[in-house]
């Protein structure tokens, strides 16, 4: 009997690693309404943060598609419309594979790979595994872990302790129920800066607990090709976060980095989708 991998193991070789030589996709077949836009059509893969799902990008996706770009918004396993698949074994490696496989199965090349907040760790892991498919990494107010670092390694010890306590008391030992001890209403409006009533309601109906491996597992970052991929950092200045400030300083100095900032709350993709779209297009062009 052949052993079949469970969640958390590498994909089945025969089916999850389609050969790179096959280049048949829709991209060459479709009409190109984008020629008139003055910008080469790009492929955007937008990775939502913990607790969210593809729905997080609802306002940005149509703006990018209207301009003729291809947009993919995978939902990480165990979250959003994939929350029926949540289980203790799901961690960062599954989430990295969730995205790596989208690049492979949809034959995506020269991708603008965007990660918001905790998914900075996800896109870092994706770059390590599929650097040849990525044209630009964009960290949107996101964590930038070094090799061996987890998201939890990048928050203060006090905060980490508070979150680990939440996992124990409200998450059955494997789910992080939310971003911080206060209720979601407070987090969404006071910490993330989403104040429109409809937006708040929309989010409260959709936020789901996140398997804690997403935060605890260290990122793998050893591929030299991945370290050569151009990258950009977008800092949302209205969200106080010393770690993100450090990342912003690093991006302003780094040769491989470009840096932009917005006078925006952490959830700029929800509150200022036009500005986020413009910035992404600017960085991608």
Partner 1 sequence: MHGRRTFLAATAAAIASLGTAHCAAGRAGPAPGKTKTFVLLHGAWHGGWCWSRVAEPLRAAGHRVYTPTQTGLGERSHLISKNITLDVFVQDLVNVFEWEDLNDVILVGHSFGGTASTGAADRIPRRIRHVVYLDSLILQPGQSAFDAMPADVAEARRKLAQEFSGGVLMPVPDAKAFGITDPADAAWLKAKCTPHPLQTYETRLTLKNPIGNGLPVTYVAVKPDYGPTVAVRQYAKTRKDWNYVELQAAHDAMVDQPQAVIDIISRL
State the minimum distance, in angstroms, from the CB of residue 81 to partner 1: 4
**What Å distances lie between residue 271 and 58, 72, 138, 188, 194, CA to CA?**
11, 20, 19, 11, 6
Under the criterion CB under 8 A, does residue 30 sit at the interface with partner 1?
yes
- The residue within the footprint of partner 1, chosen from 45, 47, 76, 80 (CB under 8 A), is 80
How many whole angstroms separate alpha carbon 132 and alpha carbon 276?
26
How many whole angstroms separate alpha carbon 124 and alpha carbon 100?
11
- By rule CB under 8 A, what string of x and - marks binding of each residue 100-139 to partner 1? -xx-xxxx--------------------------------
CB 239 within 8 A of CB 232: no
Under the criterion CB under 8 A, does residue 18 sit at the interface with partner 1?
yes
Under the criterion CB under 8 A, does residue 201 sit at the interface with partner 1?
no
The interface region with partner 1, picked from 10-18, 115-123, 239-247, 253-261 by CB under 8 A, is 10-18
Under the criterion CB under 8 A, does residue 253 sit at the interface with partner 1?
no
Under the criterion CB under 8 A, does residue 29 sit at the interface with partner 1?
yes
**Tokens 């593809």, located at residue:** 54
How many whole angstroms separate alpha carbon 150 and alpha carbon 144?
9
Under the criterion CB under 8 A, does residue 183 sit at the interface with partner 1?
no
- The residue within the footprint of partner 1, chosen from 59, 67, 206, 220 (CB under 8 A), is 206
The residue count for binding partner 1 (CB under 8 A) is: 53
Work out the angle at residue 182's Cα, subtended by the Cα atoms of residues 238 and 49, and round it to the nearest 5 degrees: 55
- The residue within the footprint of partner 1, chosen from 48, 91, 97, 281 (CB under 8 A), is 97
> How does 162-196 read in b/e, with b if 16+ C-beta sit within 10 Å?
ebbebbeeebeebbbbbbeeeebeebbbebbbbee
Under the criterion CB under 8 A, does residue 1 sit at the interface with partner 1?
yes
Work out the angle at residue 246's Cα, subtended by the Cα atoms of residues 240 and 251, and round it to the nearest 5 degrees: 115
**SS3 at position 109:** coil
Under the criterion CB under 8 A, does residue 65 sit at the interface with partner 1?
yes
State the minimum distance, in angstroms, from the CB of residue 29 to partner 1: 6
CB 235 within 8 A of CB 261: yes
Residue-by-residue DSSP string for 142-197: ---PPTT--TGGGS-HHHHHHHHHHHHHHSTTTEE-SSSSS-HHHIIIIIS----H
Q: Which is nearer to partner 1, 87 or 243 (CB)?
A: 87
State the minimum distance, in angstroms, from the CB of residue 15 to partner 1: 4
Using alpha carbons, select from 166, 156, 181 the residue that is nearest to residue 240.
156
Under the criterion CB under 8 A, does residue 70 sit at the interface with partner 1?
yes
Under the criterion CB under 8 A, does residue 25 sit at the interface with partner 1?
yes
Residues in contact with partner 1 by CB under 8 A are 1-2, 4-7, 9-12, 14-16, 18-19, 22, 24-27, 29-31, 33, 53-55, 58, 62, 65-66, 68, 70, 74-75, 77, 80-85, 94, 97-98, 101-102, 104-107, 202, 206
């Amino acid at each position: 009997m052949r052993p079949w991998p469970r969640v958390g193991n590498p994909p089945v070789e025969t089916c999850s690693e389609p050969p790179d030589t096959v280049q048949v996709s829709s991209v060459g077949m479709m009409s190109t309404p984008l020629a008139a836009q003055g910008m080469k059509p790009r492929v955007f893969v937008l990775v939502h943060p913990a607790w969210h799902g593809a729905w997080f990008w609802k306002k940005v996706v149509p703006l990018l598609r209207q301009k003729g770009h291809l947009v993919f918004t995978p939902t990480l396993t165990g979250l959003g419309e994939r929350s029926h698949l949540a289980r203790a074994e799901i961690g960062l490696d599954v989430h990295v594979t969730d995205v790596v496989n989208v690049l492979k199965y949809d034959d995506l090349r020269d991708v603008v790979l965007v990660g918001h907040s905790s998914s900075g760790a996800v896109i870092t892991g994706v770059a390590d595994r599929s650097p040849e498919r990525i044209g630009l990494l964009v960290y949107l107010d996101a964590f930038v872990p070094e090799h061996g670092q987890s998201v939890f390694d990048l928050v203060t010890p006090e905060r980490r302790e508070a979150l680990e306590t939440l996992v124990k008391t409200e998450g059955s030992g494997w789910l992080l129920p939310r971003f911080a001890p206060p209720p979601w209403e407070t987090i969404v409006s006071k910490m993330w800066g989403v104040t429109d009533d409809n937006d708040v309601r929309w989010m409260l109906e959709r936020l789901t607990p996140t398997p804690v491996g997403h935060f605890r597992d260290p990122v793998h970052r050893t591929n030299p090709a991945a370290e050569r991929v151009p990258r950009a950092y977008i800092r949302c200045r209205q969200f106080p976060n010393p770690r993100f400030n450090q990342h912003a300083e690093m991006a302003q100095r780094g040769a491989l980095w470009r840096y932009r900032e917005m006078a925006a709350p952490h959830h700029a993709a929800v509150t200022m989708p036009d500005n986020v779209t413009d910035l992404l297009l600017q960085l991608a062009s």
